Each structure stands twice: as C-alpha cells, then as structure tokens.
C-alpha cells in the first residue's frame, strides 16, 4: 500500500491533503511525507511511525540513538570525505559487528549507490529518527571532527589550544548538556588512555562522554581557566567558580579539582541562581510530618536538626523552612559555607575559614545582630555546637544539619562531639532524618503486581488501596524510568522519655527502640508509604533507605 493511502487509512490526514501534496510533488519534486509536513497536514512523529510500520524499520530516539563517538570513530576511517557524508545527513556506525545507517532520506539514490560501493559485501541495518535528532548528531560529529583536527596539530601550545573555538565549544556544550538534562554535578575523570565525563541526574551518575586522553589537558585547563584557577598548578587541590548563562538560565557553578594518578579529577556543582522559590509542601512530606515540622518551626527557641548524608537534600529543606518562616516579623540570619541559594528577606553570611572567618566566629558576630532565627549550614565541630546550644538556650531558634544515618543518632553525635547530655536534652526540639528517592516517570511507569517486601515489613499496611508501580523507561526520562526526586523522612520530636535516655547517655539502640515504641515511621517505612501510592518504586526505596534499616 502506498504511503498516502496508509496515512488516510490511519486517519492521520484527509484525502484532499494527499491530493494537494501529490500535486505539489509533481511540480517541485520531493518526498510526499515531507510535503505533507510542510503543508501542516501531518506531524513528523506521525509520519515516522507510519514509515517504520510500512518499511519494517526501527525508530530511534533518546538513548537508543548512536553516540557521537560511535559515529565519528567509524566514519573517520572511510575513504569518502566526512564533510560530504555529513552534508548529505548520512550517519554510519558499527555495533556488535553490524553496519548501521541513519539518514533523512534512506531512499536517496546517491546514498544507496554509495553504500553499495563502500560495502559491497554488507547489508546495512537501516534506521529512522526525527529530523532534529539527525541534525543534532550531524552537528556533534562535525564538532568532534574539528576537535580531532585541532589535537593532531603538534605545534599547538596548551595556552593557545584552550582558547581555540573547538575546545571552547566542547566545554560549553558539556555545560549546556548538563543544564538541559537537569544534572546537579559534572565529573571529569582522567584515566590511563581516556577521560570520562559523567553527570549526576536525580542522584545517579550517568556516563555522557568518553574522550581520548590527549584531549584532557586542554579540556581540563579550559575549565580551570574559566573558573579562575591556576592552570599551571596540578599538584594541589583548587576551588573556583564559574558564573554564566546557559540554556536561558543564570548558573553558578562551583568547581573543585583534586590531583589523581592520571591527572586532576574535576567536579562541577551546578546551582541555578534564580530557582523557583522553595516550599515545604513541594518536598514530599506526608501530612503528619509536615505539621510536625511546622510545629517545630513555630517554637520561639531551641534547635531543630536535619540529618542525612551529603546530597540528601538537607540544605533544600532548610531553605524551604526559611521561606516558610519569613513573614517580615522576625529577623533571620544564616551562616553558610558556601551560600548555595539566595533567599529574599533573609540575611545570609558566607563563612571564610581560609581568612579565619569560621563558623564559630561568624556565629558570635551575628548574635550581636538581634536575630530571632539562626540557620547554621552544618554543625561540624564542638565550638559551633556549643554556640548553637547557647543560642538556643538564650531565646533563639536554631536550624542546622548533621551527618548521621538516622534521627536518633543525632543525639549521640552531639554528645560525642563533647556537649553535655543535659544541654542536648534541654535544647533540641526535634530531629528530621531524610533521603531523596527518584520519582517514577509519569509517562512510562506501569502497575507492578509482583511487589515483594522484606520479611520484617510483610505486615506493612498502606493507606488506602495500594498502587505499586515499577520503572520502565522512555524518551521523556532518558530510558531511566524516573523523573525528578522527592524526600522520604523520619521525624523524632524530643519527648520526656527521650530526654531521660539522652541525659543518662543510653545506647543508641535503646533510643531507636523508644522511637519505634512512640510510633514514628522510619525512613524506609515513609518510602514504602510513597511507593504504595505509585510515586516511586519499591526498588528505589530499597536502594536508598533499606541499608540503613537493615543495620538497625
């Protein structure tokens, strides 16, 4: 059946649209499908779906597309000029011993003849893809070719190399790709024969680029140059900062280098300058947990602690809490290192340990600024902890973070720092432990009928009818099955019984047992609650929270 008939039969176009397109085709030439798209009668996605069915060809998108390295590595070895192939939107690559071809028009006689000439003994596997995807790949391969040509010039000095357009463009594209994919961090990692670029998206690292090692010096030096670092210093760690606009967003990028065996490891933390204002309601709190936190924030004095490992969203929670508290009637001051996000209406102070302006020194200064609420980025040492306690006991509400695995461990951690147990018991109002789990992609998640809970949670009772779902993967989520993250929480308020345990320095296990007796959900149980509503998967909750639960 002809294409026009298929499109009409599928209800994608009207018969008169096909006749109009055929008339134009007789006058100007061209492909029927392209003409229908140009007339606005048909979308490219609909056309590709029908073409794939008509010709039995796979349609590639997202992570199914070949990588730039796969295409360039193969096409650079052919006896035909690379520019000619790219000018004709022809992309070739090998994978698992198969020859693969992707083009805008696979029926172009020039392409058919060229493939027959180059590969007389091989039948290439043909694929379809969106025009935009092909254009992007062609552009990436052109840039890869330009970079390769540049690095083949032995007379180029490193200083001139890092200012060359291909190197500048490579680094800029790297940063833009990270912003577009919502990455929080970029890792540039040199190895013996190559260097790898990985990006952390929704808390998980994904490899985005692998390049020959000879390019690392220029790429690494380019990053250090725009971060204001000394490109000649490779033996000591350095910290820098890049401020620029990418993909329509103003970004603040923190750059850290550390010397390694094969070169400097470079990590970039991406912080959007103008992010949407945070709210506690948007962080994934269950109703009872949200009300508990709001109750703590309403206290006129005391300490509220948020605990968890690096990257668990502690700072985000504190910023959202500050936004919740800011009403114009109170003075809020923060001491941070670094100041990650600016909060209107809040006085934020950056600590600078390298010049002696440490957390304790900054805290002593702000106590003379008549604050009602103090936010301390992290309680790292005894001096900071003592000032936090003193502030809480003299009429200030103090918010801060600790690195502990669960809420109960915060009490023992403060005592281990050197604080008197009775001071901890008297000042801490509550502790919130948290982790971040990935949210299931709403476009591809499927119902999961085969959920198996760990034996110790077999009696878990979801609220309402459970809607367990599992991750699948699609183009919307880059085949991961997840889009975005949310928090899972454990909330432990200070009670009379808990104060007694803290005062007599009871073992951690005894404190945890009391918390369980008082009916507070663990991190894992809060995750199960969210998974039972189809917000995340049981596998994701197991990955993030079950290890800690298993150790209890």
Q: What is the tens place of the pLDDT at every residue in 224-239?
A: 999 999 998 999 999 9
Question: How far apart, in whole angstroms, are the C-alpha atoms of residue 147 and residue 29?
Answer: 38
| pLDDT higher than threshold 90 for residue 523 | yes
Average pLDDT over residues 17-23: 81
Q: Which CATH architecture has domain 163-272?
A: 2-Layer Sandwich (3.30)
Question: How far apart, in whole angstroms, are the C-alpha atoms of residue 89 and residue 139?
Answer: 10
The reported pLDDT for the residue numbered 548 is 43
| pLDDT higher than threshold 50 for residue 550 | no
The confidence band for 24, taking pLDDT boundaries of 50, 70 and 90, is: confident
Nearest of 340, 341, 383, 379 to residue 360 by alpha carbon = 383
Classify residue 307 as exposed, middle or buried by CB count within 10 Å of its CB (0-12, 13-18, 19+).
buried
The reported pLDDT for the residue numbered 244 is 85
The reported pLDDT for the residue numbered 147 is 66
Q: What's the pTM value of the predicted model, to 2 decimals?
A: 0.70
The reported pLDDT for the residue numbered 209 is 84
Nearest of 369, 409, 549, 548 to residue 492 by alpha carbon = 409
Report domain extents, the chain.
Answer: 3-149, 163-272, 280-438+487-521
Give the CA-trace dihedral at 344, 347, 353, 355, to 10 degrees.
110
| pLDDT higher than threshold 80 for residue 462 | no
Mean pLDDT of the residues in the chain: 87
Least confident of 412-416, 472-476, 530-534, 541-545: 472-476
Question: How far apart, in whole angstroms, are the C-alpha atoms of residue 314 and residue 318?
Answer: 6
| pLDDT higher than threshold 50 for residue 155 | no
The confidence band for 513, taking pLDDT boundaries of 50, 70 and 90, is: very high
pLDDT tens string 401-445: 999 999 999 999 999 999 999 999 999 999 999 999 999 999 999
| pLDDT higher than threshold 90 for residue 506 | yes
Average pLDDT over residues 341-356: 88
Is beta strand 249-259 parallel, antiparallel or unpaired with respect to 264-272? antiparallel
Average pLDDT over residues 32-40: 79
The reported pLDDT for the residue numbered 458 is 66
If one counts every other C-beta atom within 10 angstroms of the C-beta of residue 269, the result is 17
If one counts every other C-beta atom within 10 angstroms of the C-beta of residue 291, the result is 11
Q: Which CATH architecture has domain 3-149?
A: 2-Layer Sandwich (3.30)
The confidence band for 159, taking pLDDT boundaries of 50, 70 and 90, is: low
| pLDDT higher than threshold 90 for residue 68 | no
Distances (CA, A) of 226 to 188, 222, 254, 255, 354: 15, 6, 11, 10, 22
The reported pLDDT for the residue numbered 332 is 96
Percent pLDDT > 70 in the chain is 94
Residue 401 or 103, more confident: 401
The reported pLDDT for the residue numbered 305 is 98
Least confident of 270-284, 484-498, 501-515, 520-534: 270-284
**Residues 6 or more apart from 435 whose CB is under 8 A from it?**
308, 309, 312, 313, 487, 488, 523, 527, 544, 545
Q: Was domain 280-438+487-521 assigned CATH 1.10.10.60?
A: no
The confidence band for 160, taking pLDDT boundaries of 50, 70 and 90, is: low
């Amino acid at each position: 059946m002809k294409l026009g008939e298929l499109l009409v039969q599928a209800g994608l176009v009207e018969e008169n649209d096909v006749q109009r397109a055929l008339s134009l085709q007789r006058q100007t030439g061209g492909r029927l499908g392209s003409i229908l798209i140009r007339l606005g009668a048909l979308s490219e996605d609909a056309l590709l779906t029908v073409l794939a069915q008509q010709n039995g060809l796979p349609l590639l998108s997202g992570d199914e597309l070949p990588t730039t390295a796969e295409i360039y590595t193969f096409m650079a070895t052919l006896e035909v000029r690379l520019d000619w192939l790219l000018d004709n939107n022809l992309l070739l690559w090998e994978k698992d011993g198969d020859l693969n071809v992707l083009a805008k028009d696979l029926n172009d006689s020039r392409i058919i003849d060229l493939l027959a000439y180059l590969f007389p003994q091989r039948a290439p596997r043909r694929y379809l893809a969106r025009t935009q995807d092909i254009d992007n790949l062609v552009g990436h391969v052109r840039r890869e070719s330009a970079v390769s040509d540049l690095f083949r010039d032995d007379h180029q000095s490193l200083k001139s190399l890092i200012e060359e357009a291909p190197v500048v463009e490579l680094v800029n594209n790297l940063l833009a790709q990270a912003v577009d994919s919502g990455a929080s961090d970029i890792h540039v990692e040199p190895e013996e024969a190559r260097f790898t670029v990985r990006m952390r998206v929704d808390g998980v690292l994904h490899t985005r680029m692998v390049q020959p090692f000879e390019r690392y010096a220029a790429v690494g030096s380019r990053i250090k140059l725009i971060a204001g670092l000394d490109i000649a210093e490779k033996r000591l760690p350095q910290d820098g900062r890049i401020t620029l606009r990418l993909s329509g967003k103003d970004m603040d990028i923190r750059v850290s280098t550390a010397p390694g065996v094969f070169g400097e490891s470079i990590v970039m933390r991406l912080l959007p300058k103008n992010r949407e204002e945070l709210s506690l309601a948007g962080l994934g709190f269950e109703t009872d947990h949200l009300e508990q936190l709001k109750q703590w924030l309403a206290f006129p004095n005391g300490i509220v602690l948020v605990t968890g490992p690096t990257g668990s969203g502690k700072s985000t929670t504190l910023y959202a809490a500050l936004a919740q508290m800011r009403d114009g009637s109170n003075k809020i001051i923060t001491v941070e290192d670094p100041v990650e996000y600016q909060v209107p209406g809040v006085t934020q102070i950056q600590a600078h340990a390298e010049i002696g302006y440490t957390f304790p020194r900054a805290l002593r200064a702000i106590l003379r600024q008549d604050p009602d609420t103090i936010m301390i980025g992290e309680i790292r040492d005894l001096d900071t902890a003592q000032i936090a306690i003193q502030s809480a006991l003299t009429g200030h509400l103090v918010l801060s973070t600790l690195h502990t695995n669960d809420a109960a461990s915060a009490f023992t951690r403060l005592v281990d720092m050197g604080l008197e147990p009775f001071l901890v018991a008297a000042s801490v109002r509550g502790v919130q432990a948290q982790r971040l789990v990935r949210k299931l992609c709403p476009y591809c998640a499927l119902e999961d009928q085969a959920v198996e809970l760990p034996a110790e949670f077999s009696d878990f009772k979801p609220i309402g009818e459970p809607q367990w779902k599992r991750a699948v993967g699609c183009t919307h989520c880059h085949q991961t099955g997840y889009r975005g993250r949310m928090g899972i929480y454990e909330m432990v308020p200070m009670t009379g019984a808990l104060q007694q345990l803290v005062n007599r320095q009871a073992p951690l296990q005894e404190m945890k047992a009391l918390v369980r007796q008082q009916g507070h959900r663990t991190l894992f149980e809060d995750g199960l609650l969210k998974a039972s509503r189809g917000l995340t998967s049981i596998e994701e909750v197991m990955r993030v929270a079950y290890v800690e639960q298993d150790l209890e």
